[in-house]
Amino acid sequence: MKQFLITGGAGFIGSALVRYLINETDHRVLVVDKLSYAGNLASLASVSQNTRFAYEQVDICDRPELDRVLKHYKPDCIMHLAAESHVDRSIDGPIAFIETNIVGTYQLLEAARSYWNAMADERKKSFIFHHISTDEVFGDLHDEASFFTETTPYAPSSPYSATKASSDHLVRAWLRTYGLPVVVTNCSNNYGPCHFPEKLIPLTIINALAGKALPVYGNGQQVRDWLYVEDHARALYAVVNSGKVGENYNIGGHNERKNIEVIETICALLEELAADRKPAGLTNYRDLITYVADRPGHDQRYAIDASKIARELGWTPQETFESGLRKTVIWYLDNPNWWQAILDDRYHGERLGLSQ
């Protein structure tokens, strides 16, 4: 039994990882999350009463609090998911991304280094700092036959991806300069239960049910590789459990889809699963699709080569895009209280934007 410390554990991917660790392993889990707009303890409700679960409301930029938490809980590994992650928000207000993704990662690395240096030798050998990042640090792909690999040069396009690239570089520097045992993963677009409502897939589901426009950036031809979040959680556990210190692992779903195809598939699923919830006067959910001006610096295509993690750690995704998307739509249909509370409490009726 190990003690895991999960930063950003009340977020979308973080909460899926926490639920996996509590439900599928015997490990203890500490969630460290400041509960920004995207943090939601309701996503952890199913495991919050477990005796192996603990939560601390801490900002990763707060070094004294990080030191306190590390000293008290004595984690065997740190899995760092806390980040500002919404591209549109980074365009409107990049400073928050610089503070959390760069300064926060620095503070966490320094706290972890101090904690690790004070460990007894045996525990020191097994400690690992796992930094979870994104494929957006690689920029975009113009060749339809090419894929992001672990050695693809960084070329971030947005303030979000630039700050994530910065945090990746910091993590690797702390390995080379100070010897801190780290591993880095870069994942493709996630989707699934408990996804924050301003992201493409949940936004499309929720807007469709409300009879609102389904906005599509530009011509909708942008391609993303979609990874079901529970598959990602399994991959993260495989890496922290069996990955090699100093290595990078790309994690992808092998599910490339154009944005417009994603929206059209959701509409078709809603026609099948929620025809009786269609707003009055609406003939087909697809009629709500609306094209809007493209956003600045919008990357055209992301695609992950995940052969390394399959070859070395034996991980492959269990869900196809069709099976995972069906599960996702059903979850949102079955859990309106989860997303409606976010709309009511966080937005006070304001119309959500979109992030693709």
Instruction: Cite the active site residues.
Output: 135-136, 160
CA dihedral 239→241→242→244, nearest 10 degrees, is 70
Please give the sequence-ordered ranges of beta strands (E in DSSP) within 171-252, or none if there are none: 182-187, 189-191, 214-217, 223-228, 248-251
Amino acid sitting at position 40: N
In our burial notation (b when 16+ CB lie closer than 10 A, e otherwise), range 307-338 reads ebbbeebebebebebeebbbebbebbeeeeeb
How many C-beta atoms surround the C-beta of residue 271 within 10 A? 14
- d(CA 304, CA 129) in angstroms, rounded, equals 23
> Residue 258 is inside which H or E element, if any?
strand 256-258
Phi first, then psi, for residue 293 (nearest 5°) are -60, 140
